[in-house]
Chain A
Amino acid sequence: MESIKLRKITSIWIITILLLFIVSIVLGILMRLNQAGTISETPTTFYINMTTHGLTMIGIWYVAGMAAINYLMERYVKTNFTVNAIAYILTVIGVFLLWTSTFIGKFHAAWTFLYPLPFKIMWEKWATPLFLIALTILAVGWLIWSISLVTKILKKYTIAQSFAWQHFKKNPKVETPPFILISMISLVGIIACLIAAAILMAMYFAEYFSNGNFVNDALLMKNLTYFFGHTIANEMLYLGLAVIYELFSEISGRPKWKTTWYVALAWNCTLVFILTAFFHHLYMDFVQPEGLQIIGQLASYFASLPAAGVTVFSVFIAVYGTKIKWSLPNLLFFIGIAGWVIGGLGAVIDATISNNVVLHNTLWVPAHFHTYNALGNVLFSIGFFYWFANQFTENENSEKYTKYILGTLLVGGIGFLLAFYIAGADSIPRRYSNYPEELVSGAPLALMGAIFGSIYLIAILFFFFNISKRCIKIIFSPS
């Protein structure tokens, strides 16, 4: 019975996420079309779309990861359905309030809402507190969910076991499944970054209610903002990886992946790196002490070691010369890993301080994080959604469409991303509603991005209709 409720709430999550994804993609395409000069939005409208697009995307792929691990975690420990449902309700309320503050209140401080911009009211006066409240509601719901899942894990495993420390010894008596290890590591990072968000919100509210008597330090606020933002964007990726460690071998018809000492080591190191890499967002703030800048570069560089050396290599070993039962879910996982690696290349290049001088806040930045997501984490999640739907329903669209769907996805995705990378190397700034005439390549590349983005959208629409149809069946089925 419990698992039926979980099945249904997961289906509700999936449909909600895919729907919001499509709306966000459309907002994104409209942005690129505006930059191309094909359509004409007022700058305010553009920046409203930009703010909404960014926050919605981060929000939905984060909850996608959470919903996925919540569902799979039931294999190992009993999870709390009520908390899951509360998180859903608070997420929906939060997103609704967020969209009200942006679309109706005209709030447009970008998804990073960098202090003191939210207080420079260029929109409805109530939009700023509403925005902050929306974020607070989201943070509360997600914090409750994360703490609940951690509690459930710790009901069965000790802290040391949940971090797989016993695997450093030979022949451990208790085996920590990789899924539990990665989920635990990710959830700990998520709790830390949500607490940072809570502190950030507290500082914002303190200044808001003090009527100008209490003024925050801009540097501290920026550190907190990026501690929260960078970490949550990376953690949602790791949640997707937890799913892969659990499902890839299963879908491929291969033996289950096990935790070894180097898997445990890699993921424990990842926790440290992920909490210190965020300094790379402040390279161009010369006010930041040089030590922190260097920590940022080193953490950003060496975070790629466990990622590449353990996860990616494990996928290589699992696939190379091995009889794999390929189907859409594990193909999506495989392509997603490739996208993640390539996004990582762009990221490490940008995380080099001497490169950052000429790349910071150009389109190179959205280039690398859209790679991580559009051809990385999104595919991890959609792979899970597809697999999940397959568990309980018949798939009428036979696998013959796989080739075409993946082809469309790749053509659209790669073209869309290339436009960003080339523009970034051409010094085109990010977050510009229109490009100055001196920067001639801005508009044509924006058009290229819009066209290929639309092709990518076609593939996503296929997934939306295919998966949502089946999820609706799951929600309304009696058993």
Chain B
Amino acid sequence: MHQSSILILFLSLAIIGIIVFTYIYLSSLHVENAEQGMSNPLKKRFWFILILFVILSIFASVTIPKSPYYLFADETPAKVIHVASMQFNFFMSEKAIDPKLPVGEAIEIPLRKMVEFRVTSLDVNHGFAIYNPQNRLITQTQAMPGYVNRLRYKFNEPGTYNIFCLEYCGMAHQVMNSSFIVK
């Protein structure tokens, strides 16, 4: 599960950080000779920066290709679902949505087939965020007025998926939601 690994990574690094800081603090407590300090600080600093640089570069080169923008770009979607967000509702339809009279319908998505969501907004910025049946966030895109974002995804688990608005859009932001079924 993506988020669990993120949390574990973060907590481990945070605890290591706290230990390092505590260790350094403690090392300063019972020092007799005022000039003790760290030996070879310049060399240690250089190595520290180098190691950090390498770690960051590895993460960058591994994660940047996993960006969601061109996911499934070479495939043809089995279904296209148009999403028009409006305060405070998501109108979803397999047909195009008329901005003057937006109408939505119940959506059913085929299992294990790639689908494309075309997401836009009819008023302010909204966030189209899809939660799986265990209520974990699995993918999202912004809904910006005047633009259409194309989000492609393949759902491998059947069930009811919830959609929650994830970009603050006003006083009913917290109840702006929808859902669809995958089967």
Q: Which residues of A contact B (CB under 8 A)?
A: 43-44, 47, 108-110, 112, 114-117, 120, 122, 217-219, 222, 262, 284-287, 290, 293-294, 297-298, 301-302, 304-305, 308-310, 313, 316-317, 319-324, 326, 334-335, 337-338, 341-342, 345-346, 348-349, 352-355, 357-362, 421-422, 424-427, 429-436, 438-440
Contact = CB atoms under 8 A, between A and B. Distances in A.
Contacts of B27: 319-321
B147 A218 contact: yes
Interface in B161-183: 162, 164-175, 177
B154 interface: no
Contacts of B33: 323
B145 A116 contact: yes
Given A218-B144, A301-B59, 14 more contacts: A114-B167, A117-B124, A284-B141, A285-B149, A320-B28, A342-B14, A345-B17, A346-B10, A355-B2, A361-B140, A421-B11, A431-B168, A436-B162, A440-B135
A323 B29 CA distance: 7
B170 A120 contact: yes
A43 B10 contact: no
A114 B125 contact: yes
B142 A309 contact: no
Contacts, number: 230
B101 interface: no
B169 A117 contact: yes
Contacts of B177: 436
Contacts of A425: 3-4, 6-7
B64 A294 contact: yes
B92 to A, nearest CB: 18
Contacts of A317: 37-38, 41, 45
B10 A349 contact: yes
Contacts of A439: 135
Contacts of B172: 43
Given A342-B18, A358-B137, A361-B167, A219 B131 contact: no
A117 B171 contact: no
18 contacts: A43-B174, A47-B173, A115-B125, A120-B124, A218-B147, A297-B63, A301-B59, A308-B52, A313-B41, A323-B28, A338-B18, A348-B56, A358-B138, A421-B10, A427-B137, A429-B166, A435-B174, A436-B174
B28 A362 contact: no
A120 B172 CA distance: 13
Nearest to A302: B56
Given A122-B171, A321-B27, A354 B63 contact: yes
Contact of A44 (B24, B67, B171): B171
A334 B41 CA distance: 19
A281 B108 CA distance: 32
Interface string B129-166: 10100011111111011110111000000000010111
Contacts of A346: 10
Contacts of B145: 116, 218
B170 A361 contact: no
A296 to B, nearest CB: 11
Interface of B: 2-4, 6-7, 9-11, 13-14, 17-18, 21, 24-25, 27-28, 31-34, 36-38, 41, 44-45, 48-49, 52-53, 56, 59-60, 63-64, 66-70, 87, 123-125, 127, 129, 131, 135-142, 144-147, 149-151, 162, 164-175, 177
Contact of A43 (B125, B138, B147, B171): B171
Contacts of A122: 170-171
A218 B146 contact: yes
A360 B60 contact: no
Given A305-B53, A345-B14, A436-B164, A297 B60 contact: yes
B76 to A, nearest CB: 19
A286 B141 contact: yes
A355 B63 contact: yes
A334 B87 CA distance: 46
Nearest to B66: A354
A415 to B, nearest CB: 14
A110 B168 contact: yes
Contacts of A309: 45, 48-49, 52
Contact of A342 (B17, B44, B173, B174): B17
B144 A287 contact: yes
Given A338-B17, A358-B3, A427 B60 contact: no
Contacts of B53: 302, 305
A99 to B, nearest CB: 19
B140 A357 contact: yes
List the 10 closest pairs (A to B, CB-CB), nearest first. A309-B49, A425-B7, A427-B137, A354-B66, A432-B174, A361-B166, A286-B149, A431-B168, A338-B21, A321-B36
Nearest to B50: A309
Contact of B67 (A293, A302, A348): A293
Contact of A114 (B2, B68, B124, B141): B124
B28 A427 contact: no
Contacts of B56: 301-302, 304-305, 348
A20 B143 CA distance: 35
Contacts of A120: 87, 123-124, 170
A334 B141 CA distance: 39
B22 to A, nearest CB: 9
A436 B165 CA distance: 12
Contacts of B131: 427, 438
